[in-house]
Structure 1
Amino acid sequence: MAYHADIIVDENGKTKCGLCKVFIKDSDIYIEDHLKDTEHSDMYLQRLMIQNNIVINGKKISCLLCNQVSDVAEVLHHIDSSSHKGKMSSVKKIIEKDGGLLVLPEDITTVGSKVNCLVCDGWVEFNQEAVKTHIESAKHRRARAIVVQPLNAIFSVEGSSEDLWCKICQVYFENYIEVIFEHVDEDPIHLKNIGKLNLLIKDQNIDIEKYLHDPKEDKALCKRCGIEVPCNIDNLDRHIRGKQHLKNKK
């Protein structure tokens, strides 16, 4: 098992186990002793089971994702099996295609092995059918349509409730949920434009939130240089490659 990702250094420079919430002497020996400790191992396994929707029933385990019962001793074998990994992969692909608005259980503080829908502010059963049904529900689609618009610089047209405008692509389209999703999920031009923009500003300390949320804003804020830059690919690219930005990076 790979435990070491749980060992962190906090803001005060102290070594800590993020899983057990305890401090450890900054020494390989003490860290290894903690990682081998029964309490840590039990908590690690507990988190692993939550992440994979597995519960213990006496001497048996029930994988609610695969609808399968096994012996407790087989829990790690089941999690590592191709069938279970396939189920997990299918759920993750559905969530990813929806824009990552649902969050799988991550740690022992999660309310059971439930999937959290951020836009609906609710919980969904952790299995492929339930996740797919929720994502396709009218409630979720309405909530998602509201969320994706500012993330994609899509705005209502003044004086019209029937049309929307994509500032990034400079196109108008009808204000229907299906049309919104078709534009942000499938339109190759939009996907290319938004993808290039996000890739360009990645790790450059450039903020485009106001550009995405304000229909009249046409600039991005470079926090590294403390200046505004026209928010388009050509100008941002020139700024990022410019002497001032590169100098401030160093």
Structure 2
Amino acid sequence: MAYYTDIIVDESGKTKCGLCKIFIKDSDITIEDHLNATEHADMYIQRLMIQNNIVVNGKKISCLLCNEVCNVAEVLQHIDSSSHKGNMSSVKKIIEKDGGLLVLPEDITPVGSKVNCLTCDCWVEFNQEAIKSHIGSAKHQRARAIVVQPLNAIFSVEGNSEDLWCKICQTYFENYIEVIFEHVDEDPVHLKNIGKLNLLIKDQNIDIEKYLHDPKEDKALCKRCGIEVPCNIDNLDRHIRGKQHTKSKTNK
């Protein structure tokens, strides 16, 4: 069933419908009855419309993402249409290119179908034009420049406000917003280095947060083994393949 994943177990161990925010008996029959109930189905459709920027204004139903009007019977059909999927894909690509700092609506909230910019702590209209305009604004560009630096091990140079230093690439570049984004988003060496590093430590319980945020830190913390490892591709790869780390993984 499409919305069976709404059934969760909370911290107290009780079964709950995360969408309807109510507790239900933990039995297959009770769960099925709840999921098939009109109240849950209505909430599910309401959430689906918020996620796809479809609004009801009187008797008119409009998809504000596609600038298209539809009736009740056509809502699901429109959401599944190639044109709507194409517009959703375009929006997601714009957000992904910006670093994923904007969050599409996922649940029923007081603000409805709004996109949340985590960087600027604001809400943006859910359409390509508004999102592009916000991302291109001076406010967002400045905020994003501040956010991406610690995520990419980029630091100010002591006594020099004109340059920045990328610890991962061991290189200096000018302290301008455009140059920061050029290095983070387009420089093939940086993209390769940060990509290999993140891929290497994925699912290995290795923490590089201090390395990324502290210009003097040169080690990563392997929480699985309880030791520090020099934070570079060769040493991390050697540690991950080593007996201690492999044995610790087996014993978990």
Same fold at TM > 0.5: yes
Name the counterpart of 2:242: 242
Normalization by structure 1: what TM-score?
A: 0.97
Q: Which residue of structure 1 aligns with residue 52 of structure 2?
A: 52
1:93 to 2:93 alignment:
yes
Specify the code of the residue in structure 2 equivalent to 1:240.
I
Return the alpha-carbon distance in structure 1 between the equivalents of residues 142 and 82 of structure 2: 35
Counterpart Cα distance in 1 of 2:178 and 2:110: 33
- Aligned partner of 1:115 in structure 2 is 115
Which residue identity is paired with 1:48? Answer: L
Tell me the secondary structure at the aligned position of residue 238 of structure 2: helix
Q: 2-side partners of 1:110 and 1:182: how far apart?
A: 37
> Would you say 1:197 and 2:197 are equivalent positions?
yes
Quote the residue 1:104 is aligned against: 104
Quote the Cα distance in structure 2 between the aligned partners of 1:123 and 1:233: 39
Shift of 1:243: 1.4
Structure 2 CA distance for aligned equivalents of residues 94 and 112 of structure 1:
21
Distance 2:79 2:58 in 1: 19
The aligned counterpart of 1:179 is: 179
Q: Determine if the alignment matches structure 1 residue 10 to structure 2 residue 10.
A: yes
Range 103-112 or range 194-203, more displaced? 103-112
Matches within 5 A, 1:17-56: 17-56=17-56
Say whether the 8 Å CA contact 1:211–1:219 is kept in structure 2: yes
TM-score by length of 2: 0.96
Task: Tell me the secondary structure at the aligned position of residue 161 of structure 1.
Answer: strand
Q: Which moved more, 1:128-137 or 1:53-62?
A: 53-62
The answer on 1:124 being equivalent to 2:124 is yes
4+ residue runs over 6 A deviation: none
Q: State the shift of 1:11 in Å.
A: 2.9
Indicate how the Cα distance of structure 1 residues 49 and 167 shifts in structure 2: closer, same or farther if over 3 A, else same. Answer: same
Task: Report the counterpart of residue 165 of structure 1 in structure 2.
Answer: 165
* 1:59, distance to aligned residue in structure 2 (A): 2.9
Report the equivalent of 1:220.
220
Deviation at 1:60, TM superposition (A): 2.3
Structure 1: segments with no counterpart, 5+ residues: none
Q: CA RMSD in A?
A: 1.2
Q: Is the 8 A contact 1:60 1:72 kept in 2?
A: no
Residues 101, 119 of structure 1: 8 Å contact kept: yes
2:143 aligned residue: 143
- Deviates further, 64-73 or 84-93: 64-73
- Quick one: distance in 2 between partners of 1:96 and 1:110? 25
Q: What is the number of equivalent residue pairs in this alignment?
A: 250
Q: What do the CA deviations read for 1:73-108 (whole angstroms, capped 9, x no partner)?
A: 211111111111111111110000000000111100
Superposed CA offset, 1:150-179 (max 9, x none) = 000000111101101100000111111111
CA distance in structure 2 between the partners assigned to 1:83 and 1:216 by the alignment: 50
Give the Cα–Cα distance (whole angstroms) in 1 for the partners of residues 199 and 10 of structure 2. Answer: 30
Match of 1:134 in 2: 134
Encode CA deviations 1:21-67: one digit per residue, 9 max, x unaligned. Answer: 22222222211111101111011011001111111123321111111
- Counterpart for residue 74 of structure 1: 74
Of residues 60-69 and 12-21 in structure 1, the stretch that sits farther from structure 2 once superposed is: 12-21
5+ residue gaps, structure 2, are none
The 3 A distance-change label for structure 1 pair 139 and 62 is: same
Identify which range, 11-20 or 32-41, moves more after superposition.
11-20
**Matches of 1:49 and 1:116 in 2, distance apart?**
17
Q: How far apart, CA to CA, are the structure 2 residues paired with 1:57 and 1:160?
A: 56
Q: CA deviation at 1:110?
A: 5.0
CA contact (8 A) 1:7 1:17 kept: yes
* Gap change, CA 1:110 and 1:151, over 3 Å in 2: farther
